[in-house]
Amino acid sequence: MNRKQPIDQHQTSHPEVWVDQHGDYLFRYALLRLQNAELAQDLVQDTFLAALRARHSFTGQSSERTWLVGILKHKIIDYLRRSWRECPVDEIDSSLNSIEEFFDKTGHLRDISHGWTADPGTILEQREFQGILERCLAELPFRTATAFSLREMDGLPAEEICKILGISSGNLHVLLYRARTHLRHCLEIHWFVKIRKD
């Protein structure tokens, strides 16, 4: 008696459909973090190639898209590690000028958490908000936007971000403070005011 082989729930869909099903999403994810369309395309292509080689190791514990995003995330982090390692010191320091404004009279970093209580991972699911966030992030210096993305969107620990960007813990706090301050102001104008009107 011939029995039908059970369907393997851990298999991915056919690689030929990955671009149609996930390409746009992955490109937007990479573009948001890299602010460079050509580089984003290259890393998405690298992601598909890596996924093709590793598709038999897909366990099915997450969705296929989440699995692909995880691969892309590692590609982006590897790229950032390489690029910041090659970044001249003066270029690193130039983004951290005039940091006195971020410290109080006792020399402690001012509160950087007040007013930023939204969960970026949850709110990113809203397409309209994502477009506005992309526009606001694009206004930031690349290193500042990268620090924010790695911390708030990817959830990397501060110590790992410091290693990736080649900066001190104090410099990271300054970058995050600048990012949150700018984004809070930008989103207040372009998103929260709109919500109140609706």
Q: Which residues have a Cβ under 8 Å from the Cβ of 101 and sit 6 or more positions away? A: none
Query: How many folded domains does the chain comprise?
Result: 2
**Lowest pLDDT segment from 80-89, 130-139, 143-152:** 80-89
Residues 97, 71: one domain? no
pLDDT of residue 37: 92
- Any domain includes 40: yes
Residue 172, domain CATH: 1.10.10.10
Enclosing domain of residue 22: 15-86
Three-class SS state of 7: coil
Residues 97, 192: one domain? yes
Residue 71 has pLDDT above 70, yes or no: yes
pLDDT of residue 8: 43
Q: How many CB atoms lie within 10 A of CB 149?
A: 23
The domain boundary residue, chosen from 86, 106, 138: 86
Residues 153, 124: one domain? yes
Q: Give the separation between CA 194 and CA 87, rounded to whole angstroms.
A: 39
- Any domain includes 1: no
- Any domain includes 8: no
- Any domain includes 3: no
The domain boundary residue, chosen from 66, 86, 106: 86
Residue 33 has pLDDT above 90, yes or no: no
Instruction: Output DSSP code: residue 28.
Output: H
Region 19-33: what's the mean pLDDT?
A: 91
Mean pLDDT score across all residues of the chain = 76
Residue 180 has pLDDT above 80, yes or no: yes
